[in-house]
Amino acid sequence: MKKNLIFSSIVALFVSVTTIGLFQYFYSDSKSITIQHVDSPSSKNAVFSLDNTGNAISIDFNETAKAVLDGVVHIKSSHLYSGNNINFQYQNIPDPFKDFFGEQFFSPRKQQKRKDDYLKKSPTRVGTGSGVIISKEGYIVTNNHVVAEADDLEVTLHDNRTYKARIVGTDPSTDLALIQIKAKDLPTVPITDSDQVNIGQWVLAVGNPMGLNSTVTAGIVSAKGRNINILKDKYAIENFIQTDAAINPGNSGGALVDLNGGLVGINTAISSPTGVFAGYGFAVPANIVSKVVKDLMEYGLVQRGVLGVMIRTIDGNFAKEKDIELTQGVYVDSLLENSAAGNAGIQVGDIIQLVDNIEINSSPELQGVIARYRPGEKVKIKIYRNGREKEIIVTLNNREGNTSMLDKDTRAIIKVLGVELEKVDSKVAAKLEIDGGVKVKKLYSGKIRKYTQMRDGFIITKVNGKKVKSKDQLIDILENKEGGVMLEGIYEEIPGEYFYAFGMP
């Protein structure tokens, strides 16, 4: 027993001495630890992707971010709280007091001064978003929900210069808007062909999320032709590009770009149970953006062609239900009155496969392609009917069932006012006991919406005390008008007379 104890002690001592010796050998002061520093990652420019032409492009987000950041802006939108509208006290002005308001009262300079003073004193709701500079002359595309009902817009560039902005036009159907700042030689983001964007390709989202200006996130195109039922407009067009690049509140109106710095889409929405990024972001495709911008610049509103069909996306279950051989495409469920498609020979039960050689697999894709055209333009549609394919040329209508667009001779004043007008029907006039008038069918961005509380459907009976009975007569009065304008009229469903005042430059 005593011998075993002595032996164990000797073994323990030997192990301890050996351990200390080895530690001193490997970790003595004479040994130094070297930490190597690398000036740049060795993997830089080592990963490549292929573009649509087969050329290799480096997956280097640095250069793309540098090229795009200067072309993406921060937008601050200020809106007076409901009930504090600057013009509310001028809307229902009784006849005896009209003469009190002279030309000077409605001068643009005085109106702007009153507006600025009121904004300083009144409670306001402030929202923020992003925008993309598409023209050196200061045109910026953003989302409609970023600038809608704004009383004041302030744009901050990447280099921190700030400008006041005006709304050129809006399109609630696609949630897009065009604004302009007074600046020249600005950096721009070029618009690319979004039809050439592929699922799985790299994209960057650039914007100002959650107050974090000039933020860049990376991801891929997750899907195309998405409809998430987020737009509330009656004629909403949802054909979103889906991406997993992080998009959050404040990114709205910002850029989704490819690795060449080309604008793929305008970031618009997220799908999230929490209200912040949960892996899914959505952008309006650049081809739709391009069409909307052109129309807003030229007309002040969007000229949109329609097929005049009710449609359904075909899937496996629907194909079985209808005994259809195909499982992809868009099924024509019914034709509307004065349908452009019906007039061209398209029938209920036809399956739309291609539009101008663009493959159509879903209803959102068909809506997105048709949204690029104006009334009167022709599209080539390939359909499948009774086991055979057929090509049909369709001349698109407008929403009223004809091919006419806004009269170009009147678009200047229409753009300034921001209205769509039509003559009051004689039966409606008799019912309302008026001699006639001009109905404001639709309000867009313009002087009337900006400076009054007029609603869609208002019937103008007098301008500055003079009766008007036709659209042309109203335009003749206002086209070269300077100073104050008083519109008098009624609503078909609301009792009483209403007066709306604003100034013309």
Q: What is the CATH number of the domain that holds 85?
A: 2.40.10.10
For 19, the enclosing helix (H) or strand (E) is helix 2-27
Residue 418 confidence (pLDDT): 84
Tens of pLDDT, residue by residue over 211-228, are 899 999 999 999 999 999
Question: Would residue 177 count as lying in a domain?
Answer: yes
Q: For residue 292, is it within any domain?
A: yes
Confidence of residue 186 (pLDDT cuts 50, 70, 90): very high
pLDDT at 93: 46
Q: What total of structural domains would you count in the chain?
A: 4
pLDDT band at 16 (very low <50, low <70, confident <90, very high): low
Residue 39 lies inside a defined structural domain of this protein: no
Q: Is residue 494 part of a domain?
A: yes
Which of these, 492, 410, 502, lies nearest to 448 by C-alpha position?
Answer: 502
The answer on 341 and 295 residing in a single domain is no
Kind and range of the H or E run holding 423: strand 419-423
User: Based on the domain organization, do 198 and 262 belong to the same domain?
Assistant: yes
pLDDT in tens, 368-422: 999 999 999 999 999 999 999 999 999 999 988 889 887 655 667 887 888 888 8
Q: Which of 362, 395, 428 is where one domain is finished? A: 395
Please give the structure tokens belonging to residue 338: 């004065």
**Claim to verify: residue 102 and residue 198 sit in the same structural domain:** no
Looking at the structure, do residues 314 and 292 belong to the same domain, yes or no? no
**Which domain range does residue 222 map to?**
194-299
Q: Can you give the CATH number for the domain in which 467 is found? A: 2.30.42.10
Question: Does residue 15 lie within any of the structural domains?
Answer: no
Q: Rounded mean pLDDT of the chain? A: 84
Per residue in 89-139, pLDDT tens? 344 444 433 443 444 444 555 555 555 555 555 567 789 999 999 999 999
Three-state SS string across 55-123, please?
A: CEEECCHHHHHHHHHCCEEEEEEEEECCCCCCCHHHCCCCHHHHHHCCCHHHCHHHHHHHHHHHHHHCC
- pLDDT average, residue stretch 183-206: 96
260 and 210: one domain? yes
The verdict on 167 and 78 lying in the same domain is yes
Strands 56-58, 139-143: pairing is unpaired
DSSP string covering 261-307: --EEEEEEEE--SSSS-SS-EEEEEHHHHHHHHHHHHHHSS----B-
Whole-number CA gyration radius for the chain: 31
Per-residue pLDDT, 488? 94
Catalytic residue numbers, as ranges: 145, 175, 252
Is the domain of 166 the same as that of 81? yes
Q: What per-residue confidence (pLDDT) applies to 412?
A: 73
At 99 the pLDDT is 44
Average pLDDT over residues 148-176: 92
One domain, residues 206 and 170: no
| Mean pLDDT comparison of 40-54, 72-86, 111-125, highest-scoring range | 72-86
Our measurement of the distance from residue 220's CA atom to the centroid of its chain's CA atoms, rounded to an integer in Å, reads 20
Residues 290 and 199 in one domain: yes
- Both 383 and 428 in a single domain? no
The per-residue pLDDT for 82 is 44
Whether residues 169 and 141 fall in one domain: yes
pLDDT higher than 80, residue 347: yes
Residue 12 lies in a domain: no
Domain-embedded: residue 32: no
The pTM score is: 0.75
